[in-house]
Amino acid sequence: VNGIEFDTDGASRDVDDEVDVSNGTDDDTVLGIGMVVTIIGTVNDDGVTGTAESIEYDDEVEGPVAAAPVEDQDMLSKTFDIFNTTVVVGRDATVFEATDYDDLAQNDLLEISGYFDVDGKLLATRVEKEGVLVLGDSEVEIRGEVSGFDGIDTFLLGGITIIFDGETEFEDLPGTVKDGQFVEVEGILDLATSIAASRIEREDEDFGDDVDQISIEGIVTDFNDIGNFKVAG
CATH of 139-202, one of 3.30.70.20, 2.40.50.140, 3.40.630.10, 2.70.50.60: 2.40.50.140
Q: Which CATH superfamily is domain 61-132 in?
A: Nucleic acid-binding proteins (2.40.50.140)
CA 233, 36, 200, 211 torsion-angle sign: negative
Instruction: Say if CB 57 and CB 111 are below 8 A apart.
Output: no
pLDDT in tens, 136-167: 999 999 999 999 999 999 999 989 999 999 99
The rounded distance, in Å, linking the Cα atoms of 135 and 142 is: 16
Do the domains 139-202 and 61-132 match in fold?
A: yes
> In the prediction, which pLDDT does 9 show?
84
Q: Dmax over Cα atoms in the chain, in whole Å?
A: 54
pLDDT in tens, 51-97: 999 898 899 999 999 999 999 999 999 999 999 999 999 999 999 99
Domain coordinates in residue numbering, the chain: 5-57, 61-132, 139-202
